[in-house]
Structures are given as C-alpha cells and as structure tokens.
Structure 1
Amino acid sequence: MQSEPRQIRKIIHVDMDAFYASVEQRDDPALRGKPVAVGGGHRGVVTAASYEARKFGVRSAMPSVTAKRRCPELIFVKPRFDVYRAVSGQVREIFAAYTDLIEPLSLDEAYLDVTEDRLDFGSARAIAEDIRRRIATETGLTASAGVSYCKFIAKLASDHKKPNGLCVIPPERGAEFVATLPVSRFHGVGPVTARKMERLGILTGADLQSWSLPQLEAHFGSSGSWYWRICRGIDEREVRSGRPYKSVSAERTFDEDLRDPDALAAELERIAGYAWVRVDRAEVSGRTVTLKIKFADFEQVTRSKSFGAPVPDLTAFTAAGQALLAGLFPLGKGIRLLGLGLHNLIEPELEPPAQLGLAI
C-alpha cells in the first residue's frame, strides 16, 4: 500500500528590523534618522544598532570604542529591556492569532508554522503580509519576513529583503535560491568555517552543491552532512513551540594557537560581549558561568563557577570568565578555541531581585 505524500510545511520567519534601536527611535523622535547604538558605555559593547549606524559598519557585540571610532556621530542610549519585552509580547500576541506553532528565537525573531491556515488567508504569503501590517499598525515598528517550506530557507529569506521586506521561496526554488548566496550567510557556518570553506574554493551555495557528502564529511566531520543537506534546500526540523534554552554561549576558534595571558584575556572579553548580547536577546538569566577551552592538540576542558543568584550583568559575567581563565595559567600548550557561556538558566520573572557580588 502506497503511503500518502507528506504535506509540505509553510513556515514564516519574522524578524523585527533593528528592534532595540527602532524602539528607541520610535519613542524619541529626536533619534529618528540618526545613527543610534543601544548599549555601549565604558568598556561596553553594542547591543543593537540602527540602520543609520550600520552604514558605518557598526554591529551588535562590537566594542563601543570601535563603534564610536567608525561613526563619530553615533548616539548611545541605555537599553530598556522592560520596554523591549513588552513590545515583544505585543508581537507574540499577533503571532498567536494565526498559529499555535510559534518558536521564538529571541525577543525580536521567531518561526511560525502556518501549514494549517486557521483564518483562511489562502497562502502563507498572505498571512505574512497581514502579520507585518498588524505589527506596523499596533507597534509602530517594521518587520521583515521570509516564507518557505523549511526553517533554514525561511530564515535566509527574511534577511534577503531587509529592512521592511517580504521574500517568498517555494519548494521548487529552494536549492536555486541557496545556490546564489554566500556560504557566510548560512546558519551554522561561522566565521572560522567560512574561512576554511573559502580556502577550499567554497564561496557560494552553488560551490557547496558541487561537493559530495563523503568529501564534506572528510573536511568538516559530522557537520558535513548538515552542509550537504542545507545547500540543497533540505531541512526537516520542525517548528517547536515553547523551546527551552539550555544555555547561551559564544566561542571563537583562533587562526593561530594562543598562549599569551594578555592576548587570551582580550579575546575572552570580546567573546563575553558576543555571548551577553545573546543572553539579552534570549531574555534569560542564569547562575553558572562556564569557560570552554580547546587546546592545540584538540584536548577539550571546561571550567565552571556557580553562584547563589543570577549573574547580573556583562561586567560580572566577564569577570567570572576571566577568573576561570586565570586559573589555567601557566599553560603547557597553546589554546585554539575559547568559549564562554551562561548555564543553569532560570525564568527571570520567577526570581526576586538580587544583587550579586562576584568575588572570585
């Protein structure tokens, strides 16, 4: 007996445009049309940047001193996460009118599975258009959306016509669309992997499609099968509502092994900045800071420190990581990878306010 063909999914990835900075420009007319960075401060990092600031190369997780050097007219504003959470709640209420299958990735983006057309719009494109219209009307902000049959391509598509754009990629165009894009834009291909691919002559999805599965696995290990599938537009992951975070982290593999304590401390400070931007966007808090180290001989170790209350801010998070790193010296061999993460995550609204002094 022949089985029925599986129904093609209809997935929308919605991404608010420069969310934190756009909220600040919405609420303060004096900031509109000007380069704005949320965050910063002394030895701080940029949490978000307006499109006016991005034209100068200002990006999230960039040290504030670098951002100011690139854009002298940059205006720093303090983050207001209570406001961002409130607006995010408004947006999620809009999503809930169309589907129960909502997978938030952060305060400003989410996947929606609209395979079941509960409001009879007739197409996923029409649903995405109505969602964007309601977001603009009810929040005064813009959002971009990607519509496709799988999560990987929907996310690529939402970025394709930013800001305030809509891109629809049907199944028959999936592999063709991926072929035109640089591999550096692919989810799961970080800067180090992108440079490795470039050295192998893999610059675009089309280049990646020319490699066989055994070839990719020989060069990239278990990740090779993921790269083989996504360059062909194959992604079977489901939209999972209520997806809990287990940890939030960032890591970096160095082009050359490092042993110098000052150089490693400087790299760890940068990595902490990247990780904390993700912590803020994921709307989580946690009690454990974990340092990940991979040595030149590929030996991997982790060191952790747990506290009685949530780690309160980037400064405390970085200090905990630096203390864990300092405990490794003197080094017997070079380090090729550093990572820093927040674990033992908790629901912030369930925790009473607490001040934590990280004396390590």
Structure 2
Amino acid sequence: MLISERAYCWPRGIAQSRSEGNLVDMEVSKFSKNHITETIAVCKLNHQGGSVQLPDSDIIVHVPQGNITIGEFQEVSLRAFLDPPPKLNHNLSCTVSPLLEIRLSNPKTIRAILLEMKIGAEVKIDPLSQVMTKMVCLYSLDREGPFQALNNCYVYKDTIQAKFLDLSHVMYIVIAVQAEAIQPPAATIWNYIHKTTSIGIYGPKYIHPSFTVVFVALLKMDHQALVERLLQEAVILTSAVKLGRSWRELAEKSAGLTKHQMQAYEIPYRGKSGDVSAEMMWKPAYDFLYAWSSHNGNNCRDVLQDLQSALDRMKNPVTKQWRDLTGTLILVNSLQVLRVTAFTTSQEA
C-alpha cells in the first residue's frame, strides 16, 4: 500500500474557512508494531469541487466544480493496497496498479468523479501484443470482487483516466492488462507487456521468510540480479534491526571505525536528549552496513559471506539464534543452478 503521513487536498476557488468544511483530515491506523503506519487521505469538499491525492503517488481523484449539490458537502477518502485480489492475476490477466478504495460520505449528492492514475506497465508496441491484449479499469463494490470493466476509461501511455457516474459509498478500482488468449511463443500475459516492478523494503522489524519466495518467481522472469539485490537488502536491513546498539562493536571489529566515526553515523538520528533511542538505533546500523557492504561492489555472495563472518566474531553473535542468514547464503550460492533449471526447455532436458 502507499505509505504516508499526510494527505493532499486542493479545494477549488478561494480558500474556505474551517467552518465551511474544506479541510484535510488524517486517519492513521497502525496494524501492530510489526507493520508500517497506514494513512488514509480524507478531504471534505463543497460545490466548488477539488482534488484529492494520495501523497507520494500518482493517484488523484478530481471532483469537478458543480458536481456536488450547492449547500451539501462531500467527504472523499482514498486508500491504496498493494495486494490486489489473487483472482485477477493469472496467465490471462495481470494487475498493474494498486487496488484503490474510494469512499464517499454521501454519493447521492454528487454526480461524477474523475480518477487519474499512473500505472506500472504498458502494452508492447508489436502488432501481436497490441491485438491480443487490452488495458482495463476494473470496478467492484467489494474488495474481493467480482470486478467488471468500466466503459468510461481512457489510456494514454502509462496514465489511466476514468469517469465514474454510478457512485456508491465504497468502491474498489484496479487496473489490469488482460488477454482473451495466449498465442505461442508467448506463455503468459507477461510476454505482451512491459511491466515495471517496484519493491519497497521497510523496517524496523524482521523480514518474513516468505520474502525470498518472491525472489524464487523473479528467477522465472530471468531477473537473477534483482533477486540477489533484494536478498542483500533484506539481510542488511534485518541485520541492522537485530544488532541494535551492538552495531558499534561490529563497526569497530570489522571496519576499524573510531568512536568519532561511529558518532557521525548516529548524529542524524539523535533525539532532543542528544542520544539515539533504542527504537531508532537500527537506522545508523543500516547506514553503516550499507556503506560497509559497498566494498564488495555488486557481488552479493561475497557481501553476505563477509557479513556472516563478521557477525560470528562478535562477543554475542546474533547468528546463533538467526539461521536465516545461513539459509540466504545457501540460496544465493544456488541461484545460478535455479536459474538454469527455470529456463531449461524440454529439448534441453
């Protein structure tokens, strides 16, 4: 999902007073300490209309002037999920946007809303791809579906614009590329599109073991370098979290950092007391590990082997209770074999 701590709201016309209702609220909900804070963008608009944008995203809902009844107010909230319904992803269909939830406080007083969203894919320009596939805006009243295609939808390169006339309190929208059939040599819908894969890794809690399972499917798409990079990032981040204040010992023993050099890593994260809190200590630890790992360049295997050796030499090695690093090393050393297996044809077998 899109993560932020603010919401953007642009009411049309002259700025209104708080009593007139053009204001921005934030509804922040934390799943637990193991998850990232989620923000829902909420904007209250009057007959002058306006726009609501999810921060740090290219998802905007426009309410044209005059589409809200004079004297009425409309509260529009946006929420995005990065986990669209699994039913929409298979050989003939692939989602290329987050699943967007739009909530309207009073849909009976509004005539239309416009959605503008940038997507993560384009249909390839070759004739076969153009004929076999189409970009669709799917709409549902329930998060799990069923979804139906929206007619008032326009695609220009990587931008989708859709107009909604049949409005409900809660609506779910997702963009997908779909094909009626797959024609050899293509094997799935992926062969007809250019898709940008963006993967975010957030701290400070541990990375779930299922994190590498995404990296084993990327192999099938021949993205071994990306798999290695993501594995390395995951291990460095998790190491930083597990180390906490112990990162100083690792920095001294593995890189010979002085006390002054270690303080330089911690200065950006010091609080009002002048110290780095225990909850924030993973951040300077991550900065150090990231810089330290760069001495091996792009060689993921060497980075992870050196890291494991350095952790093993500590007074209280975290590797005693943390076997995931050993497992990751085995996986990295097996990547080439896995890649060859993934691309073995029946004639080669």
TM-score of the superposed pair, with normalisation by structure 1: 0.24
Larger relative contact order, structure 1 or 2 (CA cutoff 8 Å, min sep 6): 1
Structure label with greater radius of gyration? 2
